[in-house]
Every structure is written in structure tokens, then in C-alpha cells.
């Protein structure tokens, strides 16, 4: 069964076509990355799947059910998104507790108290953070809250938009470990947008390289070990990221 499937998807913002002819399949339980420069359309693909960029044509299906162009409550409980900036994606006047309980309230799910406590433990936040406001948390703690919020409805697919690029390397390591552990424990499927190739090597099984709105190559993450990309742009991106410094024999 495929968790996410895109067939010949074009996405536009007004008159500008940002993504053209995007097609890829992500198997259930897989971790798939979209890599490319800013403006390559990688975040737009995530937004279209999440329903935040409604102006698209082609076929998008998530967990074998076709995605409509409208917000969809049953979709929300199966697929959730984590955004890049933990400073901007949490409501500044809501406590962690309110933020986490909100998706449950919207979907009429009970036992909110117990679920919030359980989820805080799952993302490695101490209970004393439960009634704090976002400004009382560090960047890494906020991103943990954002991940916890996305997991409240027990989704099976997670869309991750540069989840660690606003964080320090030591905090990035903590968040990446957390995401990896959650995926293992809950059998999640990840679709992750990033421009950091070593993060792909750590987190993902396969990746699609995007350039100017098109997917130019889909490669396994083992291609990052030796730079065995076939597309010229993908090789350029790999070289710009420093190649693999652990292999001195490679150019």
C-alpha cells in the first residue's frame, strides 16, 4: 500500500505554476525526502498535500484515498504537518496544554488530560512544561511541542517541512533522534522537506531532488555515500553540500 502517491501534479499560486508534473510514491512506513534549493517548489508539494495550496491539478492520494481540494477532517486525523519555524507555528497566547488538547477537542475525542500527559512524555518534555506559554520555551522545546501537536490525532503520515533548520546542531540531533524513535515506535510514514543532505542520510530511505519546480531525480539515500546521482543538477547540489568528506578517494 502506498502512503502518499502523486501523479503528474501541477501546483500554481495565481498565474505562476510553481510545480510541474510531480510524480512519486511513498510506501507505508517509508521515510522519503524532498531536497532542493529555496524556490524549487519542495515546500509547495507538502502544502498541496496538506491542503494549504489548493490550486493544483493531477492526482494526489494519501493512504489510498484521493485527496480533495477542500479541508477534510478525516484526512487531518491521518496526516499531519510539522512546520519549519517553531517560533511562528505555535499560538503565543495558548499554553502547551491548550495547544495539544485543541485537535482532540475539534475531533470530539475524550480523555484529553491523559492523552496530553502521555504525549508530553513521548516527545521527551517534562510535565512541568504543560502549562507554559511558547515564549517560556527554548526553540528545541517548542519544536517538540509542535511535533506532539501533530501526533495528537495519531496520524499515520507526517509531513515535515524543514523541522530542524531553525535549530542549533546539538538541538537538531535531539529532534532528529526523537523523530526517528517516534517513527520506529508508531510505524509512521515521513515525507520530509530539507536542504540538508546529511540529515537525509540520517533520516530517510529515499529522496527526490527538485529543481525549478520539477523532480529531476529520485534516488536512494545510499546515493549520498558516493554521489552516484545520474542527473547533472543533483550532482551539482551534492558537490555544493561538500560531497562526502569521509571518502577521500572521491573527487
Partner 1 sequence: MSAPLLDIANLRVSFPTPNGRVDVVKGLSLTLGRERLGIVGESGSGKSMTGRAILRLIRPPGRQAADRMIFDGIDLQAQGERAMRRLRGARISMIMQDPKFSLNPVMTVGAQIAEALRVHERLPRRDLRARVTEMLEAVRIHDPERVARMYPHEVSGGMGQRVMIAMMLIPRPDLLIADEPTSALDVSVQAQVLDLIDELVRNNGMGLILISHDLGLVARYCDRILVMNAGEVVESCAASELQNASHPYTRGLIAAVPRMEETRDELPVLDRSEWSGT
C-alpha cell at 185: 515506535
What is the x/- site pattern for partner 1, positions 201-220, by CB under 8 A? Answer: xx------------------
C-alpha cell at 160: 515535515
Contact between 242 and partner 1 per CB under 8 A: yes
Residue corresponding to grid cell 475525542: 109
DSSP 53: S
Contact flag: residue 169 with partner 1 (CB under 8 A): yes
Q: Environment class of residue 81 by beta-carbon count within 10 Å: exposed (0-12), middle (13-18) or buried (19+)?
A: buried
- The yes or no reply on residue 168 touching partner 1 (CB under 8 A) is yes
Grid-cell match 508530553, residue found: 120
Residue from 123, 157, 219, 224 binding partner 1 (CB under 8 A): 224
Helices (runs of H) and strands (runs of E) counted in the chain = 9, 10
Q: Which stretch binds partner 1 (CB under 8 A): 18-26, 73-81, 82-90, 199-207?
A: 199-207
Q: Judged by CB, which is closer to partner 1: 60, or 197? A: 197
Q: How far is the CB of 203 from partner 1 (least distance, A)?
A: 8
Question: Least distance (Å) from partner 1 to the CB of residue 250?
Answer: 10
Residue 197 within binding range of partner 1, rule CB under 8 A: yes
Task: With residue 185 as reference, give the H or E element that holds it.
Answer: helix 169-186
If binding means CB under 8 A, how many residues of this protein chain bind partner 1?
A: 31
Is residue 38 near partner 1 by the rule CB under 8 A?
Answer: yes
- Among 78, 94, 130, 195, which residue interacts with partner 1 (rule: CB under 8 A)? 195
**Taking CB under 8 A as the rule, does residue 251 contact partner 1?**
no
What's the CA gap between 9 and 67, in Å, rounded?
A: 12
Query: How far from 82 is each of 61, 89, 164, CA to CA, in Å?
Result: 19, 9, 10
| Residue 159 and residue 46 in contact, taking contact as beta carbons nearer than 8 Å | yes
Residues at the interface with partner 1 (CB under 8 A) = 37-38, 139, 168-170, 172-174, 176-177, 180, 195-199, 201-202, 224-225, 236-237, 240-247
Amino acid at each position: 500500500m502506498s502512503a502518499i502517491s502523486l501523479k503528474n501534479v501541477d501546483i500554481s499560486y495565481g498565474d505562476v505554476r510553481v510545480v510541474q508534473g510531480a510524480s512519486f510514491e511513498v510506501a507505508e512506513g517509508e521515510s522519503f525526502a524532498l531536497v532542493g534549493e529555496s524556490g524549487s517548489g519542495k515546500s509547495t508539494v507538502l502544502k498541496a498535500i496538506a491542503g494549504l495550496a489548493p490550486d493544483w491539478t493531477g492526482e494526489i492520494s494519501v493512504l489510498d484515498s484521493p485527496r480533495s481540494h477542500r479541508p477534510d477532517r478525516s484526512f487531518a486525523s491521518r496526516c499531519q504537518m510539522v512546520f519549519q519555524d517553531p517560533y511562528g507555528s505555535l499560538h503565543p497566547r495558548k499554553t502547551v496544554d491548550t495547544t495539544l488538547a485543541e485537535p482532540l477537542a475539534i475531533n470530539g475525542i475524550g480523555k484529553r488530560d491523559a492523552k496530553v500527559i502521555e504525549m508530553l512524555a513521548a516527545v521527551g518534555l517534562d510535565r512541568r512544561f504543560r502549562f507554559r506559554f511558547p515564549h517560556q520555551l527554548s526553540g528545541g522545546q517548542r519544536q517538540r511541542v509542535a511535533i506532539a501537536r501533530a501526533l495528537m490525532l495519531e496520524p499515520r503520515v507526517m509531513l515535515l517541512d524543514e523541522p530542524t533548520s531553525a535549530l542549533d546542531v546539538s538541538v537538531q540531533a535531539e529532534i532528529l533522534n526523537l523523530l526517528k524513535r517516534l517513527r520506529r515506535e508508531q510505524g509512521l510514514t515521513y515525507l520530509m522537506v530539507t536542504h540538508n543532505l546529511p540529515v537525509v542520510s540520517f533520516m530517510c530511505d529515499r529522496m527526490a531532488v527538485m529543481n525549478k519546480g520539477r523532480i529531476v531525480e529520485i534516488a536512494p539515500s545510499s546515493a549520498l555515500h558516493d554521489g552516484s546521482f545520474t542527473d547533472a543538477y543533483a550532482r551539482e547540489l551534492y558537490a555544493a553540500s561538500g560531497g562526502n568528506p569521509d571518502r577521500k578517494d572521491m573527487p
